[in-house]
Structure formats: structure tokens, C-alpha cells
């Protein structure tokens, strides 16, 4: 067993760390507090080629392995989790296009998406349908050479910049089970009837917008049906969400690592009762448990990513990584806040932002309770095993 990164992966991680240290950390607190969109950071990510993470090299992308993919989100989330969100939704959508798009769709969109000339996201969640995607009500009715799209989506990252925006909808509302009548349609920005509405207020996950979008009689050419065949949308989306859960798990790992780093640093600087607080056993116990949680999360995330690189389905592995790492992030953020004492509650210290960002990782890409159901079903059905 080899638990080490390759030389190439280490070099890539070092480039990412340098980028985060120079371009993200110095401005994260101020820009998040002011609600400023990180335009300059997005441009630097474009120059680095990060928008091409999941785009094959033949279309100008990086075609990154999944361990490098996870490293990307871990390192960026350590600096500012909201920036990782901008890249995450884009990368998931590119993955769907690269694996399920028609040749014409891939040739049309992937080169520009890889360069960052175009950006994208994905529209799944609705006001009355989140984890239960079969319960969506957005429809697309065939009308000659077009689909007429109607519905509303919510919590859509990159909504104001997505071009195209893949939209999960029902092309056959009578299908039983419902997933057999679901498809993904690529909606281009500026299409009449497609409106990006309000930005939703959030506890954390600042930096990127999360919007409601409305589709009112949006006429989309039938050639924009992902893969060119109706009824494949649910399978396409679920295959992508395996990648998405590795993404979220890696972001959670970044938050956990950052919280631990801040606690360790503060414990070595803060004095109380004539000594460094790190010399008190109560603080040492917190530091030790945080370190164990971070390292265990890292091993699960990299394991899931490496299994994916090996060509395996990783429903169970990605679910384990996402559930454990997200809960480690919440644990480490809270304990780091406690190590900081009153300063941990101040917006002047990074840990306050980490504390607000961490809970989303337990909810996004399927709640942790759902992840545990997925894990258990895979084990009980003999589709996966441990040990």
C-alpha cells in the first residue's frame, strides 16, 4: 500500500498552496464581509487552467486524476470555501458533458469551459425537491424541434455566470418510476424566459452566489438534450454526484485542516496563567483529537478518489468520505473556536468563518443521513465491502 502522493501530485499541491497563499488568504476575510464577488480570483483560476479540471485533454482541459481533483478542493477550501464552490459546480457540469454529451455538445462547449471563457453550474434542487430528485416538478415538453421548459430551481451556484446551465427536468411526467422520464437539458444564458432571480441569504458559503432561477416557457433546441436521448437524466446526474461527493468531502477536509491549523497556531501563541495554553492538558486533548479527525478524513477522501481513478464505482467510498469528512469539519471548527476562546467568536479571526462554512458540507450533495443509507445498502447488497 502506498499512502503517499506522487511527485507530480505533490508539485501540483505546492502550486495550489502558493496560489491560495498569494491570492485568496489575504482578501478572504474582507471580501466575504463586504459581499464582494471574487472576480480577480476567478480570473487567476482561469489562467491556471483550473476550470478544465474534469475536461479531457483533447478538449483543452487538464483531465486531472481524481486525487488531484480532491487536492484542488482541499487546498482552495483551506483558504476560502466559497471559492471552491465556484469551481465545484462548474467541474461537476463539465464532467457530465464530457461523459454523457453528444460529440456536437462536447465540441461546442468543452473547449470554452476548459479555458474559463464559459462557466457553468448545474440546476437540480427545487423549492420542494432536494435530496428526492424524483420529486422535481420542472418539465420540458417536446414541441417540434424544441423543448418548452417550465419550472423553478433553487440554491443554484454560478447561476449568473452559467452558459450553458444543465437543468434536470421531466420530459415524460407519466413515466413510472419517475426517473425513467427525467432528462438533462442545456440552457444557454440569455434564452428568453430564463431568469436568474434573487440571491439567497446564507449563514456561510459566501463569495459565490446561490440563486433561484425561473424557467417560463423557455424554448430550447432539441439538440440541447444531454446525450441526445430522453430518460437518461437521473442516471447521468447520479453518476456525476459520485464525483460531486468527493469534491464536497475534499472541501470539508480543507475546512477541518484549516481549523486544526488555526487551533495549533493559537495554542502556541496565547498565554494564560503564566504559560502557553497549549501546555494545558485540556487544550492538548482537543488538538490531538482534531489531528486524528483530520488525518482519518484525509485517508477516506484520498481512498475514494484513488478508487475512482481505478475505474470503480464509488457510491460507498464517496459516501463514507463525504459523511466523515464533513462531520470532522464541524467538529474541528467548533473545537478550534473553543481553543480560541472569545476570539474564536470574532469575525476578525478565521475560525469564525470556518465555523459558519462547515455545516453546509453535511448537507450538500446529499445529507449525511442519506449517505449512510447509501453505504448500508451497498454493503447489504454485496456491491461493496470493507476489510
Long-range Cβ pairs for the range 263-269 (8 Å, 24+): 263/287, 263/290, 263/332, 263/335, 263/336, 263/339, 263/340, 263/351, 266/336, 266/339, 266/340, 266/343, 267/339
Q: Phi and psi (nearest 5°) for 3?
A: -100, 15
What is the distance between the alpha carbons of residues 277 and 271, in angstroms, rounded to a whole number?
6
Q: What is the largest CA-CA distance in the chain?
A: 80
Residues forming the active site: 365
Q: Phi and psi (nearest 5°) for 197?
A: -95, -140
Let me know: does 294 contact 332? Beta carbons within 8 Å. Answer: yes
HEC readout, 179-242:
HHHEEEEEECCCCCCEEEEEECCCCCCCCCCEEEEEEEEEEEEHHHEHHHCCCCHHHHHHHHHH
Amino acid at each position: 500500500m502506498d499512502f503517499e502522493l506522487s511527485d507530480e501530485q505533490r508539485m501540483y499541491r505546492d502550486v495550489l498552496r502558493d496560489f491560495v497563499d498569494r491570492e485568496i488568504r489575504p482578501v478572504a476575510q474582507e471580501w466575504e464581509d463586504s459581499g464582494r464577488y471574487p472576480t480577480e480570483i476567478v480570473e487567476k483560476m482561469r489562467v491556471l487552467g483550473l476550470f478544465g479540471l474534469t475536461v479531457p485533454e483533447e478538449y483543452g482541459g487538464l483531465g486531472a486524476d481524481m486525487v488531484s481533483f480532491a487536492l484542488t478542493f482541499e487546498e482552495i477550501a483551506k483558504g476560502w470555501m466559497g471559492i471552491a464552490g465556484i469551481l465545484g459546480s462548474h467541474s461537476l457540469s463539465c464532467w457530465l458533458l464530457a461523459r454523457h454529451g453528444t460529440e456536437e455538445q462536447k465540441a461546442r462547449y468543452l473547449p470554452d469551459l476548459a479555458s474559463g471563457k464559459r462557466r457553468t453550474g448545474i440546476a437540480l434542487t427545487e423549492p420542494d425537491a432536494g435530496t428526492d430528485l424524483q420529486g422535481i416538478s420542472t418539465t420540458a415538453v417536446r414541441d417540434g424541434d424544441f423543448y418548452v421548459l417550465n419550472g423553478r430551481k433553487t440554491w443554484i451556484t454560478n447561476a449568473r455566470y452559467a452558459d450553458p446551465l444543465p437543468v434536470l427536468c421531466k420530459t415524460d411526467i407519466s413515466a413510472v418510476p419517475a426517473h425513467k422520464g427525467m432528462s438533462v437539458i442545456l440552457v444557454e444564458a440569455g434564452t428568453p424566459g430564463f431568469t436568474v432571480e434573487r440571491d439567497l441569504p446564507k449563514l456561510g458559503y459566501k463569495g459565490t452566489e446561490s440563486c433561484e432561477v425561473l424557467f417560463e416557457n423557455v424554448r430550447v433546441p432539441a439538440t440541447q438534450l444531454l446525450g441526445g436521448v430522453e430518460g437518461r437524466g437521473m442516471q447521468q446526474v447520479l453518476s456525476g454526484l459520485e464525483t460531486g461527493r468527493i469534491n464536497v468531502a475534499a472541501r470539508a477536509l480543507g475546512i477541518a485542516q484549516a481549523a486544526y491549523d488555526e487551533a495549533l497556531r493559537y495554542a502556541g501563541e496565547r498565554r494564560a496563567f503564566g504559560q502557553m495554553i497549549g501546555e494545558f492538558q485540556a487544550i492538548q486533548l482537543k488538538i490531538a483529537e482534531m489531528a486524528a479527525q483530520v488525518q482519518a478524513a484525509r485517508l477516506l477522501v484520498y481512498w475514494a478518489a484513488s478508487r475512482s481513478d481505478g475505474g470503480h464505482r464509488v457510491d460507498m467510498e464517496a459516501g463514507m468520505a463525504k459523511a466523515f469528512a464533513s462531520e470532522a469539519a464541524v467538529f474541528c471548527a467548533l473545537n478550534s473556536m473553543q481553543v480560541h476562546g472569545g476570539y474564536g467568536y470574532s469575525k476578525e479571526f478565521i475560525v469564525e468563518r470556518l465555523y459558519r462554512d462547515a455545516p453546509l458540507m453535511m448537507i450538500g450533495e446529499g445529507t449525511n443521513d442519506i449517505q449512510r443509507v447509501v453505504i448500508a445498502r451497498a454493503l447489504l447488497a454485496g456491491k461493496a465491502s470493507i476489510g
